[in-house]
Amino acid sequence: MKKAFWENVAKNIIIIVILIFTQLNIQSSLGGLVNIDKSILGSLLVAVSILSVTACFGNFAFTYEKTEHRNEKSRYLSHMTTGLLMLLIGLSLEMTSVIVTLLIGNFFIFDLSLIILYSASVLYDFWDLARSF
């Protein structure tokens, strides 16, 4: 269990580092849309929301209980699956934050809510791993 726990810690640190680097790219890419029609931003927000909901569903539907923890390949495949879903959740939440900022300006409570949602995904990942032993 100790090994799987530290692998999970490493996975989540890698994801957070990737998300930090992608935040600036997302801001500069979507920031160029300032002069675009707001309805297009609204449509983009709907598309990003669908992506986020799909990733959240996949993340919460996955369970480490079916992972054969003694088998490294099985463990790594589980970490990669949850890692990719959590990365997708993080990216979609970053895009949502930037789009909402473009639509209505800075809204601290909304951004805080997105951070709490991502934090809950990380905590769920650790909880699910812990209950699988």
pLDDT at 57 (0 to 100): 94
pLDDT at 27 (0 to 100): 87
Contact in structure between 118 and 90 (CB atoms under 8 Å): yes
pLDDT at 61 (0 to 100): 92
pLDDT at 133 (0 to 100): 85
Beta-carbon contacts of residue 59 (< 8 Å; ≥ 6 apart): 82, 85, 86, 89, 121, 124, 125
Give the separation between CA 92 and CA 53, rounded to whole angstroms: 9
- Taking CA atoms, 3 is separated from 6, 20, 112, in Å, by 5, 26, 32
What is the distance of C-alpha 41 from the center of its chain? Answer: 21
Rounded average pLDDT per 10-residue block, the chain, 133 residues: 92 97 89 75 91 93 90 94 97 94 90 96 95 89
pLDDT at 74 (0 to 100): 93
**pTM to 2 decimals?**
0.90
pLDDT at 34 (0 to 100): 67
Give the separation between CA 98 and CA 114, rounded to whole angstroms: 11
Could you identify the residue written with the tokens 């949602």? 117
